[in-house]
Structures are given as structure tokens and as C-alpha cells.
Amino acid sequence: VVYEDPWRAGGHNGLSNTENPLGPEDPYPRVLALRQAMRGFGLDDTPIIMAGGVWWLEEWEDWIDNPELGPVAFQFGTRPLLTTESPIPEAWKQRLRTLRQGDVYLNRFSPTGFYSSAVNNSFLQELQARSERQVAFSAEPVGTHVVPYGVGARKREVFLAAEDLEHAQNWEAQGFTEAMRTPDSTLIFVTPDRAREILADQADCMGCLSECRFSNWSQRGPSYSNGHKADPRSFCIQKTLQDVAHASGPDQDAVMDNNLMFGGTNAWRFSTDPFYSNGFVPTVGQLVERICTGR
């Protein structure tokens, strides 16, 4: 049984709605509760694999040969990224060396609807800024939403609160002139180039992810729609993962900065672990040997 720590593992994480994304919990009592539940089903000797946040095994000494936990193993997902056999682009490997603590964080922009752990680069910063330039609107004048505002080329009328109209006008003055509707009856404000990119990505949807937030495609007939508007606050995950995984040539650094880079929250330790000093990149065999020392 794999226990993937929802705060420390890289990529998409199974953080529930009852858990605080900003408040990591100690994995030990959670894994102990898992073992106790497993023992209720006679699974005393089934190994539990700890995944997420594992860097040095010596930091997990109290887990190993612990009769309370039973048999355990450990999964390494981030450290093998920086090996000679790793297929990720060279620019990705070099970027890992520059990370500092806090540079990998949980975000909820993914079209899956799940939290994911990724490098805080220009890609994520643009998504964050996109969501911050957001106001609620109403199709009809109601409550404080009584100020008319025209959306799109046809200037179709919606209604904003007076203070939100001021925000919208300020964003427009900064060049964010395109208002895009979200499924939550809000408008986000982006540049014309960004709006064209978002619409093009949505039009090019390959249907890779049923119930995708960024498109309204669903694998379920007869309409093959999830019944929601496509959400411009998200992104095409197929496009960005292809781009970041296959970057080559002189623009690799720019590709790394402007696409989704998954990583465990411990990825910053590449810059502090002496094993990687002086630009050393181990083979997978050398990494395994190092791990077996406890470091």
C-alpha cells in the first residue's frame, strides 16, 4: 500500500477538502492509522510504501524496523530526476540545482481539479495573477451589481459592483483589456495575446482528460460535455507537459520558465545536498548506492 504524502509529494496530490493545503501534517500518525486499519483486515505484513518528502533514509530511522508500523519501504520520485539516465531536458536538470526552500509549492490551477506540487516559475505566477484580476458579475442588475459593463467584441452587457468596475478599468489601463467569463460567474482580465492563446488551446482540445476544467469535454454521451463553461483560469495540461518534457535547443530555459514543472517539495535540496556539489550528476546506480548509505 502506497501512502503518498499530500503535502510533500510532487505532481498531483490527493489532498482532501478537510485538509489544510498550507498546514502539512506529520506523516507518522497518519501512516500508523493506516497500519491499524490494515491490521483489521489481516494485512499485518503487507508493506506500506512512504512516498513524498523522502530524501535521506537516515531521516526515517524511527520508521525502519518499527514494530508499531510493521514493514515499510520508501519511494523516491524527485531525486532520480537529476541522474544521467533521466530523460528530462538538460535545462530542467539545471533548474533543479537553483531551487531554494519554498520554490516548490501546492497550487490548484490544474484542470484536474486536484492540488499539484510544482516549481514556482513564470507559468504559475501568470496563472496566479490571472486569478487575482477577477471580479464577480451578474447577468441582471441585482444587489450591488448594478453597473453595466460590456464583455467581448459585441460588448454584451453584464453588471458589476461599482468598486469592481474601478478594478476592471485599472486592469484595462495596464493592458489587460480582454474580459473572459469563468464558470463561477466571474470575469478575469488578460491581455489580448493571452486571450487568443487560451481560446486556441481550448479549441485544440484533444480530449485527453475527461471532466477537464479547462475545456467542457466529457467522455460521457450523448452530449460529451461536462455541462460547465470552460475555465480560463486553468490551462491545457497536455500541451504544457509535452512542451516541458521535450524542450530542446537554445530556448530551453524559457520553456522551463513558461511551462508546468512538477516536483516534490524537497526538490530545493539539490542545491544544498553535498552529493550534488560541483555540478555532479550521478548515474541511477550511483544514486542507489548513495541512498543505501542513508544519505
Give the start-to-end residue ranges of the domains of the chain.
Answer: 2-121+261-292, 123-257
* Amino acid at the residue 185: S
pLDDT of the chain, 295 residues: tens digit per residue: 999 999 999 999 988 888 999 999 999 999 999 999 999 999 999 999 999 999 999 999 999 999 999 999 999 999 999 999 999 999 999 999 999 999 999 999 999 999 999 999 999 999 999 999 999 999 999 999 999 999 988 999 999 999 999 999 999 999 999 999 999 999 999 999 999 999 999 999 998 988 899 999 888 889 998 888 999 999 999 999 999 999 988 899 999 999 999 999 999 999 999 999 999 999 999 999 999 999 9
Q: Are 175 and 191 in contact (CB under 8 A)?
A: yes
Short-list 159, 155, 113, CA closest to 135: 159
Cβ neighbours of residue 44 closer than 8 Å, sequence gap 6 or more? 38, 70
What does R_g of the chain's alpha carbons equal in angstroms? 23
- Identify the three-state secondary structure at position 260: coil
60 conformational bin, left if phi > 0, alpha if psi -120 to 50, beta if neither = alpha
Short-list 265, 201, 252, CA closest to 22: 265
Give kind and range of the element (H or E) at residue 48.
strand 48-51
